[in-house]
Structure 1
Amino acid sequence: MATEKGSGITAYSVKTKTKNVPMINPVIDVKSGRYIATGTDSEGNKMAAIMGKATAEEHIKNGNAKKGSGW
């Protein structure tokens, strides 16, 4: 689940097993009605986070993420 820490998108890193890892260059896609942010962490590991419509639109409006496919 995505959380907002500061101004960027953060998520859980499965590989390093740490919470609230900042996502670098996130892209928010809409798949099956769900808003999914995908990006990488500082080490280059792929990350994904699911969020609601309001949160996704807020991140795009603030410039924290880019729009992907499905919009």
Structure 2
Amino acid sequence: MAKAKKETETPGEITAYSVKLKKKNVPMVDPVIDCKSGRYIATGKDSDGNKMAAIMSKATAEEHIKNGNAKKGTGWE
């Protein structure tokens, strides 16, 4: 099987699946990472203003925050 071509993205940028556009790896604008029930969820919008969310590991979430790609939301210790 051939892999699908990725959308153009900036390294370190948070991407997610856009349900409305039906596209993978759509960049998130101004993401905020919340911790809910031990899960790390990045929420934001795409360039058209559609809401998006992506679930990630604690290590990935901390890396995005450390690099300035996202802001800390609620639920962090």
Return the TM-score normalized by structure 1: 0.92
Structure 1 residues not aligned, in runs of 5+: none
1:6 aligned partner = 11
- 1:5 Cα shift? 5.7
Secondary structure in 2 aligned to 1:8?
coil
Tell me which stretches of 4 or more aligned residues in structure 1 moved more than 2 Å: none
Match of 2:45 among 27, 40, 51: 40
Q: Normalised by the size of structure 2, how large is the TM-score?
A: 0.85
Matched residue count = 68
Structure of larger gyration radius: 2
- DSSP-derived class of the 1:42 partner: coil
How far, CA to CA, are the matches of 1:5 and 1:37 in structure 2?
17
- Cα deviation code 1:31-68 (max 9, x no counterpart): 01000000000000000000000000000000000000
Deviations 1:5-40, CA, capped at 9 Å, x for gaps: 612100000010000000000000000100000000
Secondary structure at the residue paired with 2:64?
helix
**AA matched with 1:30:** C
Greater strand content: 1
Unaligned runs of 5+ in 2: 1-8
